[in-house]
């Protein structure tokens, strides 16, 4: 799913750090034996300059396909946006072997395992935090991070020596992190957010346009 990234290891397929997620995964293996049903690894390039951080795998999206944002509506919007701005090449086919390639971009989630009702708890964010922190450190060419939603925003800041109140989440906001990487914020590209017009396709694309401009400086 992802080329080797020096200094970073994905959680094991049988990871037991989060008891609630382990129980949910066990049940899903019985209900949906053909699903991926394991912590979903990051997708992209070890030379990425741009990292996208989502919430967690969706039960019938990434938890089905084994690739972040693949198999549900959120992926339809995310990958079409990435392709339109040159962050991805190929055709998104809503499955992990569609041949889509990310260009200097990587996608991950704040929590690697699918949670019940698509809602994570603090313990799970903390347990997965070490993976996100190590991934950010290992991406030595990183220029920009996009947090999709408040949970992802908080997860990025969690392991930094910063006061969260100094980096308030806001759609379209940007924050310079202590290491010089720029953190961008967007509402999550979930069907709920788009159906309620909290997030429109244009609002979402506008954030990526700004990221494209920033990276290309």
Q: How confident is the model at residue 43 (pLDDT cuts 50, 70, 90)?
A: very high
Per-residue confidence (pLDDT) for residue 145, from 0 to 100: 98
In whole angstroms, what is the distance from residue 193 CA to residue 45 CA? 28
Q: Spell out the domains of the chain, with CATH numbers in brackets.
A: 41-215 (3.40.470.10)
Question: What is the tens place of the pLDDT at every residue in 189-203?
Answer: 999 999 999 999 999
Report the percentage of the chain scoring pLDDT > 90.
93
Question: What is the tens place of the pLDDT at every residue in 49-87?
Answer: 999 999 999 999 999 999 999 999 999 999 999 999 999
Q: What is the DSSP string of the chain?
A: -B---TT--PPPTT--S-HHHHHHHHHHHHH-TTS--SPPPPEE-TT-SEEEEES---TTTHHHHSSTT-SSHHHHHHHHHHHHTTSEES---SSTTS--EESSEEEEESS-SPPGGG---HHHHHHHHHHHHHHHHH-TT--EEEEESHHHHHHHHHTSSS-GGGS---TT-EEE-TTSPEEEEE----HHHHHTTSS-HHHHHHHHHHHHHHHT-
Per-residue confidence (pLDDT) for residue 159, from 0 to 100: 78
Please determine, for residue 1, whether its predicted confidence score (pLDDT) is greater than 60: no
Please determine, for residue 112, whether its predicted confidence score (pLDDT) is greater than 90: yes
Q: Is 98 exposed, middle or buried (0-12, 13-18, 19+ CB in 10 A)?
A: middle
Mean pLDDT over the full length of the chain: 95
Question: What is the tens place of the pLDDT at every residue in 90-101?
Answer: 999 999 999 999
């Amino acid at each position: 799913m992802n080329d080797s990234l020096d200094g970073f290891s994905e959680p094991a397929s049988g990871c037991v750090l989060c008891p609630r997620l382990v129980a949910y995964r066990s049940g899903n293996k019985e209900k949906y034996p053909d699903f991926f049903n394991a912590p979903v690894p990051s997708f992209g390039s070890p030379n990425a300059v741009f990292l996208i951080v989502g919430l967690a795998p969706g039960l019938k999206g990434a938890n089905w396909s084994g690739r972040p944002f693949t198999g549900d509506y959120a992926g339809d919007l995310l990958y079409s946006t990435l392709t339109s701005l040159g962050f991805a090449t190929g055709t998104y086919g809503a499955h992990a072997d569609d041949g889509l390639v990310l260009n200097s971009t990587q996608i991950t989630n704040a929590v690697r395992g699918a949670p019940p009702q698509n809602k994570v708890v603090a313990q799970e964010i903390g347990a997965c935090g070490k993976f996100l922190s190590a991934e950010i450190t290992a991406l030595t060419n990183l220029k920009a991070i996009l947090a999709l939603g408040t949970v992802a925003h908080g997860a990025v800041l969690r392991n930094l020596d910063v006061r969260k109140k100094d980096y308030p989440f806001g759609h379209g906001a940007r924050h310079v992190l202590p290491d010089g990487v720029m953190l961008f914020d967007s509402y999550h590209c979930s069907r709920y957010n788009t159906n309620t017009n909290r997030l429109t396709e244009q609002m979402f694309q506008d954030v990526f346009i700004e990221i494209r401009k920033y990276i290309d400086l």
